[in-house]
Amino acid sequence: MGTSVKTKPKKKGEPDGSMTLGGHLKELRNRVMVCAAVFFVVVAVSLTYASDLIDQVTALGLACDPPYTFIAIAPSERLLQYFKIAIIAGAVVTVPLALYQAWAFAKPGLKKSESLFFGLTLIMGLGLFCVGVVFAYKISLPFMLNFLNSLEGTEYVVTSYTLAEYMNFVTLIFLIFGVVFEIPLVTVILSRLGIANPTIMRKGRGIAIVLIFVVAAIITPPDIFSQAMVAVPMILLYEVSIVLSGIFYRKHQSAEDDDDEDDESNED
């Protein structure tokens, strides 16, 4: 009787070990489901602490002189703010996770240098956004709220703010500063692609400063001090961006030179 030889089961996928289209779709579905599950769990947990989170935000207005007075003009206004703050908390946790899942999904098809750059960009982007939000919470918002609530010449007007309007304003400021602090990241990406370079950025410094003050005037109360509080960090970020552009643009040029050398060697 002959002996039977056991063979290892074949792995699903292509003969060369790469994943099939169905495998990619299944992996993508699983990653999306993980993000969705985390989002709903964080929202559910945040509803428990929504009141405390709102207290932290409204404390900025209560610390002003005179303090803010908050009102609710709809029966469901407070409840809706609880859900809103919980959804924001869910997004804050889920967005970094989703970006990581996108990086992990694309990683097998990326070169080592591309994968490293993507990972560093992800970390840098999240870090800069958090720094922008903290800057707004600690420095910009307290001054803005105090200025808006202490305008002279209208003492006869009793100012009360709805909780919804206040939360919308604060959320918008957080978002604006988070995006503004992404300027160095955008510069790094554009420099890596060869679109931006430090020479152009230095020559355009004057125009950039004027545009920065225009943007600061749009997103802040109409006084020089608050505009400067926004414009000065943006100018500093622009200067940092010039330095980063010089670093990553040189890497882009080196990569192009290596590609040219490879093409020449192939022709020979």
pLDDT tens, position by position, 232-268: 888 888 888 888 888 777 665 555 555 544 545 555 5
**CB of 250 closer than 8 Å to CB of 197:** no
pLDDT surpasses 50 at 171: yes
Give residue-wise pLDDT tens across range 115-164. 787 888 888 888 888 998 998 898 888 888 887 777 666 666 677 889 99
Structural contact between residues 12 and 20, judged by C-beta atoms closer than 8 angstroms: yes
Q: What is the dihedral of CA 102, 105, 107, 110, to 10 degrees?
A: -90
pLDDT digits (tens, 9 = 90+) for 7-28: 444 444 444 446 677 777 888 8
Query: Would residue 4 be called left, alpha or beta, if left means φ above 0 and alpha means ψ between -120 and 50 degrees?
Result: beta
The percent of residues above 70 in pLDDT, for the chain, comes to: 81
Phi, psi of 161 (to 5 degrees): -120, 140
Predicted local confidence at residue 69, as pLDDT: 87
Both structure tokens of 13:
């996928």
Least confident of 66-80, 190-204, 247-261: 247-261
Determine the Cα–Cα distance for residues 235 and 242; give it in Å rounded to an integer.
11
In this predicted structure, the answer to whether residue 114 has a pLDDT above a threshold of 60 is: yes
- The backbone torsions φ and ψ at residue 70, rounded to the nearest 5 degrees and listed phi first, read -105, 140
The reported pTM is 0.74
Q: How many beta carbons lie within 10 A of that of residue 120, not counting itself? A: 12
The pLDDT of residue 9 is 47
How large is the C-alpha radius of gyration of the chain? 26
